[in-house]
Each structure stands twice: as structure tokens, then as C-alpha cells.
Amino acid sequence: MSTRETVVVLDFGSQYNQLIARRVRELDVYCELLPHDTTAAAIKQKGAVGVIFSGGPDSVYFNDGPKADPAILELGVPVLGICYGLQLINQMLGGEVKGGPAEFGRRVVKTTGGALFQGLPDSWECWMSHGDFVSRPAPGFTVTASTDTCPVTGLENPEKKIYGVQFHPEVAHSRYGRDVLKNFLYGVCGVKGDWTMKNFAAQAAAALRGKIGDKKVLCALSGGVDSAVAAALVHEACKNLTCIFVDTGLMRKNEAAEVMRVFKDERGMNVIKVDAEARFLTKLKGVADPEKKRKIIGGEFIRVFEEEAKKIGSVDFLVQGTIYPDVIESGVGKSAVIKSHHNVGGLPDVVDFKEIVEPLRELFKDEVRACGFEIGLPASIVMRQPFPGPGLGIRVIGEVTSDKLHILREADFIFRDEVAKAGLEKEIWQYFAVLTGTQTVGVMGDCRTYDYTLALRAVTSVDGMTADWARIPHDVLERVSNRIVNEIKGINRIVYDITSKPPATIEWE
């Protein structure tokens, strides 16, 4: 059983479920997202100090709607239900839920006291997204909030330590949503707040020293933020660390040279560079399906490390920069797989190491950055924009070839160069180019062309779990478009992706 204060969020399918976990962690409390059918015994084993039922798209009065273990409500651990979670708890305890009145978007919530609303105004804007409502509260529960169209927006039973809200306190549109969660965590659950990056870094280093000792370790170093922080954590705890940088040929322009300069020359780390472009392209020949590409790339990564391990002698551990969003999006329990990440879902069944060590597996992206600063890494490394493990292999839609990679690499460089020249690189969380598999008719020099369409993607975000498309000024986009079609042969059309996450993911594949 963990000694760390832990809150469990049960996933009932809400688009905001990861956001709930992030908001809890922002309040200095460790949080895990688990499937809705996690048993009370499993929650008790984790030593949970609180449980949150997330929202979800289903109706609780349908037989096929997701349910929870009733014993959770008898653990004596405080429980908070959000939207569907509130409705489910109410029904489980003898209340009634009906369809309508539906509420979507901003609504004014009016509160009448209760533990969740301590210190808050009597009315304020919240974010609603529901088609059902609590028509009759369960016995023993008091209504603590309402809107003009929803009579039960807040419920509580202090004796049972069970609370619920119909709105979504985790989204920024709920003005005092953070305070509601804080009241639940600190006022109801009685947490002290021991989840900080200073504590995490110290505990992670100690755990790594205890696990690794004087054994040999290989680190999968890509040059990205995740692998850099993972390598630095292990480097602090282990003196027998060898970092393997695999140049897959799927990197951005000049990136391979930059990785070696920063980590080997400047940081003095033991880094071995493996040139494997031909090997990866051979494996990817004729493969268009994105999931297959991810698994092939993940499999080849491991095979390369196995081979390098044999060259340097017996190696016990492989370190990877897997982070929590990778784990969530690759599927947790019965949660849907959004996409397999090369270092989670793409691992082969047999790995020639004693164990894979993932020191950042519990962290969201912004927590990884905070951890990087905590252990003394420079901003030039910590604040690099995210780059997927499969690299440009999933930014070339369809089959990956050397010619396509050259086109995309040059176009991506121009995009990033113009964003930097415009002084926007700190405002945009991630920006890149995608070579679509679509060719269209164009006219260049009075001649007909039939070349590729290039998509530009730029988003603003905090942790990558949700993202909004970046409002890049039109004159910057115009310069990018003009340079690409004039400087790079093979592209005759540029489009800009204005889709947020959700419903899209940040990457196209």
C-alpha cells in the first residue's frame, strides 16, 4: 500500500476524465485514473483518501450504462460524483434520475451552503454538459446547489462522506471549479498535499538507486523532453548509464546532430549514436496503417537496444521516457485505445532486458517539465516542444519513403523557422507539418502540377491532454506557405488544421 496521499478517479467515459486528474494534481494531491469497474478492494489496497466518479456520455437508467462496485460507497472514504458520476451515485443509493432538462455550456449555479461550496459566492458561472438530471435525491441527501433549469446541481450526505455536482468543476469555464475540488480534497478528504515535483524527484531518485544499484543501464534517448528528464533522473541515481540515441531517419532537420551536441558534448553524458535509417525504412516499406507503423517502430527500437546491449556487455535495465498520457491513450483497463504509443502499446512480447524502467510513467507533460527544472536541466532542453517517439513516421500519412521524409523535413523546418522569426515559439505549445497522402492539381509556371498537400498543425496546451488550435496571424501563415511552395519541390497546396483536442488528437496519426 502506498504511503503517498492518493485520490482515485473512476473513468466512466467523460471527455474530461484526464482533466479531472490533472486538476487534482495541480492541487498537490497525487491522482490516478482507473476503469469504472475497479473494485472497492483494489481502491482500498491503494490506500485512497478519496474517490471521484467522472462524468460520462451514458444514461444511468439504461441497463448497459457503466456501473461501479457498490462497496466503494461503503468504504468510508469520501466520494465525489461529477455529472454522470453524481447521477450514478444517486441512483445506487435509492434516488431517481430522469431525462431532461438538458443543459450545455455556461449556466449560473446558485448554492445554499454545503462543504463543497465553503467560501464561495452564492451564485457563479459553471459549465454544464448533460441530458439527464436528478429528479429525486437519494434518502439522507441534501440539495446544495441548483440552476434555473436543473433543480439538483449539488448534493451531499456528510454522514456518508458522499458528495456530488452536476456541473464540471474540472473545466476552466467553471469559475470556481478549482475551489470546489480544493474544498473536497482539503475540507472533506483532509489531505495535506504532498504531491510536488521536489518530493517526486527525491523519491524517484531514491527508488532508482534502490532498484538499479551498480547494475548496467541503457536509456532510450530521443532528445525530447521526456527521455531527457528520464535520463537525467537515472544519471543522478546510477553511474553505469549508457544512453542510446537511435537515428531512425525519422527525425526533424538537423535534430540528430543537435541531440549529440546537447547531451554528449555539453552535458558530458555517455551517448552512443546508432545510424539506423535504412533499417527502419526497410521495415516500414509498404506499410500505411498508422497503428502498424507505430508498432513496427516500437519493435525496431527495442531490437536495436538489444543489439547495442550485447556490444557493451550484460545490461540489466532499459530506461524509457514513457509518461502518463502515453499510458492513458494506449488504453487503461477497459478504456478505449486512442492510439498505441511506441513505448507502451508497441513493445514486443519478449524484451532482452531484466526490466524496463519508466521513471516518468506517473507524470503528465507539464509535470515532466517541472521535474526537469527541479533536477537542474536547462530551459533549452526542458522547454523543447513535444516530438512523438515514432517521429516523422506518423507525420507522413500513408507509406513512409525517403523522398517523402525529405519533403516533410524541409517543409517542417520552414514552418518552425517562420514561427520562431515571428516570436511565437513560446506562445504555441506544439507546431509541425504533416505530409498528407493527398495529391491535388496545381499550376506553377503555367504548367500543371499534381503534387502533395501539406497540412500545418499548431496547438496551445498545458499538458497535451486537451489542446486548442493556435491562432497564428495570417501574415505568418502566408510567409510559411509562400516559402514552402517556392523552396520545396513536390508540394503545391498548404492547409491549416483548425481542430481542437478533443475531438481530434494533436498528431494526425
| The three grid cell numbers given for residue 344, joined into one nine-digit string | 507502451
Three-state DSSP at 62 gives: coil
DSSP per-residue letters across 181-232: HHIIIIIIS-------HHHHHHHHHHHHHHHHTT--EEEE--SSHHHHHHHH
Q: Judging by DSSP bridges, how do beta strands 355-357 and 271-275 pair with one another?
A: unpaired
* Alpha helices (runs of H) in 344-496, residue ranges in sequence order: 365-374, 379-382, 402-421, 474-487
Three-state DSSP at 482 gives: helix
Is residue 3 within 8 A of residue 35, CB to CB? The reply is no
**H or E element that contains 427:** none
Question: How far is 493 from 247, CA to CA, in rounded Å?
Answer: 30
Q: Which residues are catalytic?
A: 83, 168, 170
Question: How far is 317 from 357, CA to CA, in rounded Å?
Answer: 7
| Sign of CA pseudo-dihedral 343, 22, 68, 337 | negative
| The three grid cell numbers given for residue 241, joined into one nine-digit string | 548509464
The rounded Cα 15 to chain-centroid distance in angstroms is: 13
Long-range contacts (CB closer than 8 Å, 24 or more residues apart) made by 324-330? 324/361, 324/362, 324/363, 324/364, 325/18, 325/364, 325/365, 325/463, 325/464, 325/465, 327/361, 328/18, 328/33, 328/465, 329/505
Q: How many angstroms separate the Cα of 231 from the Cα of each of 177, 249, 318? A: 37, 22, 11
Q: Measuring CA to CA, which residue among 30, 345, 14 is closest to residue 194?
A: 30
CA angle 319, 321, 324 (to 5 degrees): 125
